[in-house]
Structure 1
Amino acid sequence: MTIDEFKNVDLRVAKIVSAERIEGSEKLLKLSVLAGDTDEVGGVVPRQVVAGIGKMYDPESLVGRSVVIVANLEPRKLMGVESRGMILAAHDQDGNPVVIGVELDVPPGSKIS
């Protein structure tokens, strides 16, 4: 990947406002995040993201956390639920996903460069 291609990746801070398990999946969670999206009159609109982190995280433990997302992926359905982004995670020594968080108070929607 060239630096110009990397510049096209829209990485943003997103605040998780709700999280729930997707019925029929141990792994998938449906998250509602604030990522700087607005409606036609400028009101804040949440974005739905599906993440494969359900084996490591209880949904309630994620609410209020700020994470990093890829915001400009094409929407994709996972188990019939549309996802409009991807939560970034690393893997621990056992191969389990660890969500990449933002520790300081950074506004949702802030671009990461």
Structure 2
Amino acid sequence: MKPIGLDKAEHAHVESSNNATVNSEKLDLSKVKVEPLFEKFVDFDTFTKSDFRIVKVKNCEEVPKSKKLLKFILDDGSDKERVILSGIKDNYSAEELVGKTLLAITNLPPRKMMGIESCGMLLSAICEYDGEEKLNLIMLDSNIPAGAKLY
């Protein structure tokens, strides 16, 4: 998976109905393949049980002995730091993510990975481009405060 996300100073624009520019890379949209939408509906009560929150990356580091994991220390608007592990090391360096504003689901049960408890999941967008999976970590405007709830 390779990121096709934008830096703050960069903008995506559509050049034609079949082409777009992302990170100075011209994308042929006819080569983009997205997964089909789920056919099953989720009821509203189930949806409202999911707690999506804005988080700010206070620190990010590679997990020793892991080929994929980054360890995030996050401000989720509460009084304590939240740790989330994410398998995106192939797509992003730890250093470039410090200070970013991200979206997480915060009420998943804790899960141990590489001996570290991960308390949530960061949200990303994934598609296939020209036979290669591309991943974009969802990054938001820095003016949105940590802990803001997504509805």
User: Common fold, TM-score beyond 0.5?
Assistant: yes
Partners of 1:96 and 1:35 in 2: how far apart?
A: 27
Identity %: 35
Name the SS of the counterpart of 2:133 in structure 1: coil
Q: CA RMSD in A?
A: 1.1
Could you list the runs of 5+ residues in structure 2 that have no partner in the other structure?
Answer: 1-41
Cα deviation for residue 96 of structure 1 reads 3.1
Cα deviation for residue 9 of structure 1 reads 0.3
Cα deviation for residue 99 of structure 1 reads 0.4
Structure 1: 4+ residue segments shifted above 6 A: none
Provide, for residues 54-108 of structure 1, a one-character-per-residue CA deviation record: whole Å limited to 9, x for no partner: 1110000000000000000111001111101100001142313210011251100
TM-score by length of 1: 0.90
Cα deviation for residue 24 of structure 1 reads 1.1
Match of 1:35 in 2: 76
> Which residue type is aligned with residue 102 of structure 1?
L
Q: Which one has the bigger strand percentage?
A: 2
Could you list the runs of 5+ residues in structure 1 that have no partner in the other structure?
Answer: 39-44
Does the alignment pair 1:83 with 2:118?
Answer: yes
Partners of 1:73 and 1:90 in 2: how far apart?
A: 19
Q: Which has the higher contact order (CA 8 A, sep 6+)?
A: 1
Cα deviation for residue 112 of structure 1 reads 0.4
